[in-house]
Structure 1
């Protein structure tokens, strides 16, 4: 046990992880990654009023069923503002909410962020900054991981193909259309790789 300002912090199981599961390619790859390393995997999905929430939730449920993992759906209760394809503060908000909802037997929180994006919350600095926050709350007993942070989207796709990750279960269109719009940033990324 570690001590944090007079409180004893129990050591958590080292092979347990809570994955922030969006229903897209990156987070689905994370589920496979941790299961292949024999982790106990739980997932958390956020409804933040996004236009694609119904389709994302459907993908999340299919992925959870396929991999036989527990998933919790958390509704933030307010929509996030999108600015030119970016939801400023989204990953930080998700991380803090995940820390609050973290089961007592889970020692890691994992994000499906990758290289090739200009956003702060998809960077090594973001991981370092958030690790300090988690250390403040959990005295080092909970860690933040992003196994694909140095991968490009194409490398994640290659990993999925090589590892037979069920890409067909994932969903990425930010507009929430039944058929991908082909215009949003997620659709453009996905169409370049797999043509939807």
Structure 2
């Protein structure tokens, strides 16, 4: 586990999802004060930010001895990419349904999303004299998302070092070698409130209310993670993800 010096803080990039929730509990359990950054970049599932605040409120209650602040930062990624081919940004692009395959998941790539977010987080960390910036990329992200790979993290850390002629700030990715099922199992060991997290790329915006749609790739991935981890899934799904588990992801 990451160790902390007395009075040290970490800046974490967090969405409303289960991986980010586990990440937050991981650093809180290690004793870090936390500055949590969420981003509104024009994503269809902006509903996730409401859930981020929910699990962060619970985190504050559990770790009342720590300073935990949460800030939502606006990034103009969708505004700067009005004709984006990303299904997360473009309302005219359909979301893949079924189990994610390498090809179908690429439809959800948002160009330069993590570099944009990490640069904001590094700026905050520099200002607050924090040495740690972290995000919850994991092994399942590797094939589809270039900015979730260790090579990218290493290159980004080199850039940070060159930009300020200092190694004060370092990006950590503690779940890089974890599968999503391993993250679910680890989160369960930390008693993470998974019921307060949101993964679905369509729920909320497609008339499902507070239910996950159950058929988009990230719903199926979430369902599969809990199933393989042997952890109870508290998620309410509008459609049964089991029906889509063995269907290769396709555009709706």
The TM-score normalised by the length of structure 1 is: 0.86
CA contact (8 A) 1:35 1:41 kept: yes
User: Aligned pairs, how many?
Assistant: 184
Using the alignment, how far apart are the partners of 1:78 and 1:38 within structure 2? 33
Using the alignment, how far apart are the partners of 2:135 and 2:155 within structure 1? 14
| C-alpha distance 86-78 of structure 1, shift in aligned 2 (>3 A) | closer
Using the alignment, how far apart are the partners of 1:43 and 1:127 within structure 2? 19
User: Which residue is 1:167 aligned to?
Assistant: 194
* Matching of residues 39-118 of structure 1 within 5 Å: 39-53=32-46, 55-68=47-60, 69-79=68-78, 81=84, 82=86, 84-102=107-125, 103-117=127-141, 118=143
* Matching of residues 141-180 of structure 1 within 5 Å: 141-177=168-204, 178=209, 179-180=211-212
User: Which residue is 2:216 aligned to?
Assistant: 184
User: Which residue is 1:6 aligned to?
Assistant: none
CA contact (8 A) 1:26 1:156 kept: yes
Using the alignment, how far apart are the partners of 1:137 and 1:64 within structure 2? 32
Q: CA deviation at 1:16?
A: 1.5
Q: CA deviation at 1:13?
A: 7.7
CA contact (8 A) 1:13 1:106 kept: no
Q: CA deviation at 1:164?
A: 0.7
Q: CA deviation at 1:14?
A: 8.0
Moved more, 43-52 or 75-84: 75-84
Unpaired segments ≥5 residues, structure 1 = 1-11
Q: CA deviation at 1:168?
A: 0.7
User: Which residue is 1:8 aligned to?
Assistant: none
Q: Write the deviation string for residues 34-75 of structure 1: whole angstroms up to 9, x where unpaired.
A: 11111111100000011111x211111112211112101101
The TM-score normalised by the length of structure 2 is: 0.68
| C-alpha distance 78-151 of structure 1, shift in aligned 2 (>3 A) | closer
| C-alpha distance 78-88 of structure 1, shift in aligned 2 (>3 A) | closer
User: Which residue is 2:96 aligned to?
Assistant: none
CA contact (8 A) 2:7 2:33 kept: no
Q: CA deviation at 1:95?
A: 0.7
